[in-house]
A and B are shown apart, each in its own frame.
Chain A
Amino acid sequence: MNRPTIAWKLYIAAFYVFLFAPLLIVAIFAFNASPFPSPPWRGFTLEWFFGTGAVFGKPGVLADPIWLDSIGNSFKVAVPVAVLAVLLGTVNAWVLERAEFRGKTFLAMMMLWPLVIPGVVLGISILAFFSRLANGLEEWLQTDLDFLRPGLTLVILGQLSFILTISTLIIAARLRKFDRSLEEAAFDLGASRTRVLRTVTLPFLSPALIGAGLVALLMSFENFNTTLMLVGSDAPLPITMYGQMREGATPAINAVSLLLMLGVGGIASVFALTSKAER
C-alpha cells in the first residue's frame, strides 16, 4: 500500500485540479475587461474592483453601494456572533468541564443537537417562534418590537444557535487539558479567584478563545441557509451574492468573491498559526 500506482497518483493530481478549478476561474475572471463574467478573455482590468461605472456602465465592488452595504451588514452580524460565541462558549465549556450536577449528560447531548438540525429548519423555527413572541409582546406592551422581526438581530440569533455549539466544543476541548493543580497552586499562594482566572486560566485558554472566535467569524460570514430565512431588508453578503447569481451578474461578483477568498485565507492562516501554538 506504500507504493502508489501511477493511476492512483494521476487520480490524486486530477482531484486537486478538480478542487481548485472553480475557485481559479472565479479569481481569473475578476480581472476580465468584459461586462459579463464569461469568456472570451478581453484583457486585464481592475475596473471590477475600483471602477465607478464609467467604462462598463456598472460600477466595481468598492464603488457600488449594494456590495459595500452587504459587506457592512455581514460584519454587523459576524462581529457580535463571534464575540457572543466566545463569551457564552467559555461559560458553557466551564459548565461542561467543571460543574457536577444531575442532568449534565443530558445538557451535553442537547448542546450537540443544533449540529444535526438542517440550517433551513433552524431558520424557519426561529422565525416562527420570534414572530409569535413579537405578536404577544407587542399586544401586551403596545409598542413595536422590530428587532424580533426578520432582520439582522434575528440573523445574529439564528447563526448563534448553532455556532455556539462549535465554540463551546473548541473551548471545552482546551479546558479539558488544563492542569487544575496550577490553579490550586495559585490559590495556595494567596491569589484571589478573579486573579487566578485572569493570570492562570484565561492565558491557558486564549489560543482556544481566539480559535473559536475566528471559526465563529468565518461561519457567520459564510452562512447562507439559516440567514436566508431570517433576513429582512438588510442583506448580508451571501444573500446579495445569491440574488445576483440568479439574475445574472457583472464580474463585480468575481471581484467580491476574490476579496472574500483573500479575507478567508488570511483568517484561516491566523487560525492555523494559533492552533499550531496550541500543540
Chain B
Amino acid sequence: MMTKQASRLTFFLLVAPAILWLGLLIVLPHVEILVLSFSERVAPRVYAFGFGNYLEFFTEPLYWRTFARTAFMSILVTALTLVLAFPIALYIARVAQGRVKAMLLLLCLLPFWVSELVRTLGWMMLLRETGVISYVLRAVGLADQPVELLYNDGAVILGLVYGGLLFMIVPLANALESLDQSVVEAGFDLGGSRWTVLRRIVIPHAMPGIVAGSIIVFMLTVGNFATPVLLGGKNGLWFTEQIYAQFITRFNWPQGAAFGMLLLLLSSAIVWLGLRLTGQSLGTTLKQA
C-alpha cells in the first residue's frame, strides 16, 4: 500500500511541471484574454460584458481591412514560398549527392539560425534609398536619382518569403527524399514527360511535406511583426501591429485582446482547413518539420 501511494506521489510530482506550464502560461492566459475581449468600458475603470470590441472591429474599416490584408498577403507569401522552394528541395533531395547535398542543406539552414532582425537589417540596407541596390544602379548609370525600394508591399512580401523559405525547404526535402527512384523511372518509361512525371508522381508524393511547410510558413507569416513593420514602414499595415498598438500604445487591452482572439482564430482556422483538406494530423505535420 505504501509503495502504491509513493508511486502515485512520484507520478504527481512528475506531471506537476507540465500542468503548471500549460495551466499558468497557456490555458489561463488565454481564458484571460477571451474574457477581456468581451468586456466593455462603460465608465472610467468600470467594465461590463459586451460584444463592443468585436463590433468595433467590423465597423472600423482600418481594422478589418488590415485583417483581410494580412490574411490575403500571408496566403500569397505562402504560395510564393512554395513555388520558389520546390525546385530547391527537389534538387537537394533527388539530384545532389553525398557531401554536396549535406552542404546545400546546411547552407540553407545557416541564415535562419541568425536573428530575424539581422536578416531584416540586411534587406533594409539593400533596398532603401541610400542602400546598396540604389547605389549600384546609379553607379552603372541605370538610374540618375536614388531609388527607394523599401516601404512598399513588394519589400514586405520579399522579406516574408525570405523568412519562410527554410521552413518550406526542409519539410519538402524530407518528403521528396522518400520517393522511390524506380517509380519515377517507371513514369518516364511509360512515356511520361518531365512535366507529367512531376505533376502525377512527384507532387502527389510530396503532399505531406507541402502541407506541413505551407502551414508553418503561413503561421509564421501571419504572426510576424518585425518584417512588415520595418520593411513596409507606414504601408506595412499588419494585424499584429494593431494588437501591439492597442495593448502598448493606446493601453486599450480589451480591444487588443479581441484582436488577439481574431488572429488566433484566423491562424487556427487556416491550419485546421489545411489539415482537413489534405487529411493530415497536427502531430505528423509537426514531425515533418
Closest chain A residue to B28, Cβ basis: A129
Residues of B within 8 A of A (CB): 11, 14-15, 17-18, 21-22, 24-26, 28-30, 32-33, 36, 84, 87-88, 90-91, 94-95, 104, 106-111, 113-126, 128, 130-132, 135, 162, 165, 184, 194, 197, 202, 219, 222-226, 230, 240, 243-244, 247-248, 253, 256-257, 260, 263-264, 267-268, 271, 282-283, 286
Provided the pairs A124-B257, A128-B29, A265-B110 are in contact, do residues A91 and B116 lie with their beta carbons within 8 angstroms? no
Q: How many whole Å from A203's CB to the nearest CB in chain B? A: 20
Which residues from chain A contact B21 at a C-beta distance below 8 Å? 88, 92, 160-161, 164
Contact segment of A37-45, A59-67, A174-182, A205-213: A37-45
**Range of interface residues on A (Cβ < 8 Å):** 35 or more
Contact segment of A50-58, A112-120, A138-146, A184-192: A112-120
Task: Name 13 extra pairs, CB < 8 A, besides A16-B107, A119-B225, A264-B114.
Answer: A23-B119, A25-B125, A26-B118, A29-B125, A92-B18, A99-B11, A124-B256, A224-B226, A238-B116, A241-B118, A245-B117, A260-B118, A268-B109
Q: Show 9 residue pairs from A and B whose CB-CB distance is below 8 angstroms, ordered by the A residue.
A: A8-B87, A22-B121, A107-B15, A118-B264, A125-B260, A157-B25, A229-B247, A268-B110, A272-B106
- A202 located at the interface, meaning its Cβ lies under 8 Å from any Cβ of chain B in the complex: no
- A134 located at the interface, meaning its Cβ lies under 8 Å from any Cβ of chain B in the complex: no
Contact between A20 and B15, CB atoms less than 8 A apart: no
Provided the pairs A112-B286, A245-B124 are in contact, do residues A99 and B15 lie with their beta carbons within 8 angstroms? yes
Contact between B87 and A125, CB atoms less than 8 A apart: no
Q: How many whole Å from A79's CB to the nearest CB in chain B? A: 17
Contact between B33 and A128, CB atoms less than 8 A apart: yes
Closest chain A residue to B128, Cβ basis: A38
A104 to B182, CA, bound (A): 41
A157 to B111, CA, bound (A): 27
